Amino acid sequence: MAQWEQALDELVRTRGTALVGYAYLLCGDRREAEDLVQDALVRTFARGRLTEAAALEGYVRRTVLNTYLDGFRRRRRWAAVRHLVAEAPSRPGPEAPSSARVDVQEALATLSPRQRASVVLRFFEDMTVAQVADALALSEGAVKRYLSDGIRRMEDHLGPVHATQDGGTQDVEIVTGRSGR
């Protein structure tokens, strides 16, 4: 087995679930998340040059993000006809158990691709605004605007989002404001 094949096998075995979870946060659909990860793995390993185990996950995550942002229109067209050819999953995926999680997923689905990517990178990947700006190739001001608009839009769906300053980092607690949820 070639060295890149061993690296790919190790990455998928040890971090495959985390990569699909990351993609799921971006796109909100389990099948689409799996497709995003598959596409990212193919693009990352297509030339067979990458073998540094420490950097592989970062390359794949970056490729997942780029694929998500670049393919938004393609995914939108496919979503319009997917129901004609797809079957319902035979068993529920990992996203099924929590109603609060479902509320956050629904709120994320209301965001534009850039808002969603900014919110996911900032609050779920715990990146700083500067890191998000670098990852999305945007200015920090644009990221702050996407975050502000995204949080406001999520508040419309979830209820108030409480933000506090703690040691220079912003901690956000999402409160659904719904009884029984």
Triad 19, 21, 25: Cα angle to 5°: 120
- Tell whether the model's pLDDT for residue 133 goes beyond 90: yes
- Say whether pTM exceeds 0.75: no
- List, for residues 100-118, the tens digit of each pLDDT value: 566 778 888 889 999 999 9
Domains and CATH numbers, the chain: 1-95 (no CATH), 98-181 (1.10.10.10)
pLDDT, greater one: 100 or 36: 36
Cα–Cα distance measured from residue 107 to residue 155, given in angstroms and rounded to the nearest whole number = 8
